[in-house]
Amino acid sequence: MSLTPAIFLFTVLTHLGGGSVGREGAALQMGGSLGYTAGKWLRLSDEDRRVAVLMGMAAFFTALFGTPLAATVFAIGVASLGLFCHAALLPCLLASLAAMGVSGLLGVAPTRFQVAVPALDAVTLLRVAGLAALCALVSMLFCFCVHQAEHLLSKSVKNPWLRAALGGAALIALTLLAGNMDYNGAGMNIIAAAIEEGRALPWAFALKILFTALSLGAGFKGGEVVPSFFVGATFGCVIGPLLGLPAGFAAAVGLTAVFCGATNSPIASLLLAVEMFGGDGLLFYALACALSNLLSGYAGLYSSQQVRYDKLRMRRIDAHTNGYGEK
């Protein structure tokens, strides 16, 4: 509980300073911390206290994006891939719905986009499959850069304050070179432009990966989910038309597929797509999630994420993302 104010403060400072991060990382930590503390105050058992942690995570995720179904499944399933605690389903859903109601009363609008979905046919499905395969590679690149930046910077600059100062200076230099602040902060305006207007620069996704990896590697606080949205939406917007897909629709598919590949959460990603973009493209989003989840392997944003079951065969492996085979 004592870490919650610090997490909130440093995330706010990172955004104010132009760090290229999201908000959901801090939200999930704060939600989990508050859930755990509430469980202690109520003297819940260890099992029920873990459910309270998941409830807090789901509630905070919903408050940010207005996606209660995706938040519920994400909170329950993200820690252990292949296992799903059904006992937490109803409590997490109720917590998510309550959070959505409160955020609505406070004037926080859910994250929604208008997407024109093409007709369902075999050719379009093949094109979506091709885009999803490329997005799986992009998600792996995103995860690799984030983890490598953290590893290399912490190894080369031991002092965390000096590391943050040097990282901040590098971000300022990159921002000046870019000539704008499109890659600082969460970048929701760029995501909206890609999905609703079909407009994105060809190099936007690569620069966002660079800015985010540097921000997190330097020790600034924030989340990786919204940056993955940015990367996926801009990449899909640019590559989709080359495959014969409408740019805005391809941006929605790209966002879904990169988020799925980076978090290893296909069901949560599918629900997220339906809640953000509507259900008209359900089969397209489902295909994109299934392929991205399979082809992205065992890379992931969260090093502590446990892989309980193999993605290819029905066998238990008990490994970690980014460390497949290390039991």
Domain check: are 130 and 201 in the same one?
Answer: yes
Q: What is the DSSP letter of 22?
A: B
The total domain count for the chain is 2
CATH number at residue 234: 1.10.3080.10
Domain check: are 197 and 290 in the same one?
Answer: yes
Tell me which residue of 253, 296, 289 sits closest to 141, measured CA to CA.
296
* Contact criterion met (CB below 8 Å) for 223 and 21: yes
* Contact criterion met (CB below 8 Å) for 224 and 156: no
Whole domain around residue 180: which residue ranges?
122-318
Q: Phi first, then psi: what are they for 200, rounded to 5°?
A: -160, 150
Tell me which residue of 24, 6, 97 sits closest to 302, measured CA to CA.
24
* Contact criterion met (CB below 8 Å) for 305 and 281: no
* Contact criterion met (CB below 8 Å) for 35 and 54: yes
Residue written as tokens 């917590």? 95
Percent with pLDDT over 90 in the chain: 57
Q: Are strands 306-309 and 316-320 parallel, antiparallel or unpaired?
A: antiparallel
Q: Give the C-alpha separation, 169 to 192, whole Å.
A: 29
pLDDT over threshold 50, residue 326: no
Domain check: are 298 and 170 in the same one?
Answer: yes
Where does a domain end: 48, 77, 105? 105
Domain check: are 170 and 296 in the same one?
Answer: yes
Tell me which residue of 247, 212, 254 sits closest to 232, measured CA to CA.
254
pLDDT at residue 202, rounded to an integer: 95
Does residue 326 lie in a domain region? Answer: no
Coil, helix or strand for 47?
Answer: helix
pLDDT at residue 231, rounded to an integer: 97
**pTM beyond cutoff 0.75:** yes
218-267: pLDDT as tens digits = 888 777 889 999 999 999 999 999 999 999 999 999 999 999 999 999 99
**Confidence tier at 325 by pLDDT (50, 70, 90):** very low
